[in-house]
Amino acid sequence: MANTKEIRTKIKSIESTKKITRAMEMVAVSKMRRAQERMLASRPYAEKIFNVVDHLAKGHSVYRHPFLVPRPPKRAGIILVASDRGLCGGLNVNLFRALVEKVIRLKDKNIEPFMGTLGKKAELFAKRLGIRILASLDHWESNPSAHAEVGLARVMLAAYYSGEIDTLYIVYNSFINTMVQKPTIQKILPIAPAPEPEEEDRFKLEPQVGKPWDYIYEPEPTQLIDLLLNRFIEAQIYQAVVENYACEQAARVVAMKNATENAVELIGEFKLAYNQARQAAITQELSEIIGGASAV
């Protein structure tokens, strides 16, 4: 009976785990719906401001903002957006793998990387890589907002202004659908109308065509362009955050659903083993009783 007792203990343990994973799946489903609504609501603004800045970059403005002037890349800033918690399948692992490949390519070109991290997992991974962290933010997932990421964005922009970094990338998971999340590396500074071939920009830019032209600005172009480009960077970072959060909840739903199904399968196997062990024990007892009776 010791064997059957061990099996009963394992069954109870797995049933408790199944209840937890099932509850986490239901919570993630609820959060995923809200996250997708937030992501879809912000996409039109992010795409529109991208198109505006794209069109501005194709012009020949008298005032050339620092964000529009390319530099020889010696130091690269990377904003890594990951989750604060785990239990979301291979979401973070795939993202970190893409980041490592990018860092290797930068170092092959003698470009030193610097990091800004969003999420506890991102910070821990950056420390593990030994990359200097300029700014970090965690515990933001419960309510992602543009105001929460402004501080980190301003730190990275200040580093760009000061020449501490010469280019800026953002690494995050792009939401395709509930089952597919794509690790994305997007170059956001300097702003140029033609993306680099190696980058996986979400929006494709067209090459400049036609005669030189420029806008008529009111008020001064210095103030207007500076405000527009700063809002553009903040919008891109916020969109990356809400995309990654929606990806996290979708991945957690799938991971917890798979864990629940595996628990059900294990319970079925252990119940079968329990019944077989119990039947063997009963058969052995009956054999001993019959053997004793025959001896008498």
> Residue 157: pLDDT above 80?
yes
Q: What is the mean pLDDT of residues 269-275?
A: 83
Q: How far apart are CA 7 and CA 282, in angstroms?
A: 16
pLDDT of residue 295: 66
Structure tokens at 124: 């821990």
Which residues are 80's β-sheet partners? 117, 171
User: Are the beta carbons of 109 and 200 closer than 8 angstroms?
Assistant: no
pLDDT of residue 144: 61
**Chain centroid to CA 271:** 39
> Residue 205: pLDDT above 70?
no
User: Are the beta carbons of 51 and 92 closer than 8 angstroms?
Assistant: no
> Residue 202: pLDDT above 80?
no
Instruction: Compute the C-alpha angle 59/61/62, nearest 5°.
Output: 160
Ramachandran area for residue 139 (φ above 0: left; ψ -120 to 50: alpha; else beta): left
Which residues are 189's β-sheet partners? 168
User: Are the beta carbons of 153 and 64 closer than 8 angstroms?
Assistant: no
**Contacts within 8 Å (CB) and 24+ apart, 65-72:** 65/225, 65/226, 65/229, 66/160, 66/161, 67/160, 67/189, 67/190, 67/191, 67/229, 67/233, 68/190, 68/191, 68/192, 68/229, 69/190, 70/190, 70/192, 71/166, 71/167, 71/190, 72/166
More confident residue, 291 or 121: 121
Q: What is the mean pLDDT of residues 12-29?
A: 86
pLDDT of residue 296: 60
> Residue 172: pLDDT above 80?
yes
Mean pLDDT of the chain: 80
pLDDT band at 208 (very low <50, low <70, confident <90, very high): very low
Structure tokens at 146: 């543009």
User: Are the beta carbons of 171 and 102 closer than 8 angstroms?
Assistant: yes
User: Are the beta carbons of 143 and 223 closer than 8 angstroms?
Assistant: no
Contacts of 50 (CB under 8 A, 6+ apart): 203, 232, 235, 236
User: Are the beta carbons of 273 and 265 closer than 8 angstroms?
Assistant: no
Q: What is the pTM of this model?
A: 0.77
User: Are the beta carbons of 169 and 79 closer than 8 angstroms?
Assistant: yes
Tell me the domains of the chain and their CATH numbers: 2-27+252-295 (1.10.287.80), 39-245 (3.40.1380.10)
